[in-house]
Amino acid sequence: MITGCSGFIGRNFLQRSKVLEKFNITALYKTVAPSIDKNNNITFERVNLLNAKECKSIFKGFDVIVHLAGVMMTSSATENNPFKGINENLQIITNILEALSVQTPQKFIWMSSTTGYPLANKDLKEEDFFQREVPKRYEIVGSLYRLIETIVNKNLKDKCNLITLRPTGVFGEDDDFSPKSSHILPKIIRDSFLNSLPETIYAQKEEMRNWIYVEDLVGALDLLLTNIDESLVLNIGAKESTSMYDLYKIILKIFGLEKLHQINSDHNIYGEPLARNIDCSLSSKFLGKYNQTPLETGLIKTINWYKNQ
C-alpha cells in the first residue's frame, strides 16, 4: 500500500519508481486519482485517512506500507490556518496506527521531517533529532514531528521493520507552486517565471538549506523497498547544503535574470540566519549513491516542467 498518491511525492513515486512493477499496489488518494502512465499493477482507492472507519476497512493484508500522506505545513500554510496541519497530521497517523493494531505489515516506511533537529554548529546526524530545543522558526512543525515519531515508534518499532525517513527540502516536477501553500523554492521559481522578484533580493550566505531532487528521493524509496529489511532512521538528502544566496544565483542564471536583480547578502528577511547542515552519510551507507542529481540540473528540469504547464 502507498498512501498520499495524489500528493507531490506520491505521484512522483508511482510515475518514476523502477521497482513498483514487482509489487501488487494499492494506491490511496484523497480527491482525484493521479494520472500514471504505468498502472497495470496498481489499484487506486479513494480513502479519507481522517476517517478512522475507512482506515480500519482498508489497512488489511499488506506486506509493505509506504506512508506518504499528510498535510503540508509550510510557513504560508501555517499562517493561514495554524491548527489544520497539527490536527490533521496527528489524526491521520493515529488512525493508521489504530487500523494496524490488528494486523501489522512486515515493513512500514514513512516520512518524518528534518524540522525537528535543534540548532547546531555541526552536521546533524540522526541521533541529534531529540536533542535540545527545536529552533524558534520551526517550533510548531518540528515539535509536531518529534511527537509523531514518538507515537509511531511506540506503536510499531518492535512489531515490524520500521523505516523512518527524514527528508530534507524535496523539489521537482509536480511540486506545489500555489502562492498560498508552496515552499520557498517553488515560490522563487514561480516569482522568477512571473518576473515578480524584487529588484533587491535579500539572501544571506549563512542561511543554508539541503535540497534533494524528487527523482533521487524516489530512488531511495526503491532501494528501501527492495534492499532493506530492518528498522532504520535515515536522513534523506543531497550530499551538501546550499546557501540561499547561491540558490537565488542559480535560479536567476537559469531564467537569465542576473542583470535585473541584485542579491544583498548583508540582510536576511527571515531574521537570524539558520544553517541546516543535514548529515546524510548513514543513508548513503545503506543505500549507496542515491543522491546523484546536482542541484542546478534538478532545478533546470523542474523549471522546464513548470514553463510547460
For residue range 178-231, list pLDDT tens digits in order.
888 889 999 999 999 999 999 999 999 999 999 999 999 999 999 999 999 999
Q: DSSP letters of 32-87?
A: S----S--TTEEEEE--TT-HHHHHHHS-S-SEEEE-------HHHHHH-TTHHHH
Domain annotation covers residue 83: yes
Residue range 134-193, pLDDT digits in tens: 999 899 999 999 999 999 999 998 999 999 999 999 999 999 998 888 899 999 999 999
Domain annotation covers residue 27: yes
Cα–Cα dist 101/96, whole Å: 9
Return the pLDDT at 85: 86
- In a 3-state reduction of DSSP, which class is residue 14? helix
Instruction: For residue 96, name the pLDDT band (cuts at 50, 70, 90).
Output: very high
pTM > 0.85: yes
Domain annotation covers residue 185: no
Instruction: For residue 34, name the pLDDT band (cuts at 50, 70, 90).
Output: confident
- The chain-wide mean pLDDT, for the chain, equals 93
Return the pLDDT at 180: 82
| CATH code at position 21 | 3.40.50.720
Return the pLDDT at 288: 96
C-alpha cell at 46: 479513494
Domain annotation covers residue 136: yes
Distance of CA 97 to the CA centre of its chain: 21
- In a 3-state reduction of DSSP, which class is residue 202? strand
Return the pLDDT at 270: 64
Question: Which range is least confidently modeled, 75-89, 95-109, 143-157, 194-208?
Answer: 75-89
Report percent pLDDT > 70 for the chain: 96
Cα–Cα dist 130/164, whole Å: 14
In 157-270, where does DSSP find H-type helix? Answer: 184-193, 214-227, 244-255
Structural domain count of the chain:
1
Domain annotation covers residue 266: no
Q: Which of 76-85, 97-106, 263-272 holds the top average pLDDT? A: 97-106
> 263: burial class by Cβ within 10 Å (0-12, 13-18, 19+)?
middle
Instruction: For residue 36, name the pLDDT band (cuts at 50, 70, 90).
Output: confident
Cα–Cα dist 290/284, whole Å: 7
Q: DSSP letters of 248-269?
A: HHHHHHHHT-GGG-EEE-S--T
Where is pLDDT greater, at 75 or 174? 174
Give yes or no for residue 75 having a pLDDT over 70.
no
Domain annotation covers residue 162: yes
The boundaries of the domain holding residue 156 are 8-171+212-239+278-292
Cα–Cα dist 215/193, whole Å: 23
Domain annotation covers residue 258: no
Residue 43, beta-bridge partner list = 26
Cα–Cα dist 217/256, whole Å: 28
Report percent pLDDT > 90 for the chain: 82
- Strands, DSSP E only, in 64-213? 64-67, 107-111, 161-167, 169-171, 200-202, 208-209, 211-213
Domain annotation covers residue 203: no
Question: Which range is least confidently modeled, 35-44, 57-66, 106-115, 253-262?
Answer: 35-44
Return the pLDDT at 251: 98
Is there a contact between 6 and 29 (Cβ–Cβ < 8 Å)?
yes
- Tell me the average pLDDT across 56-64: 94
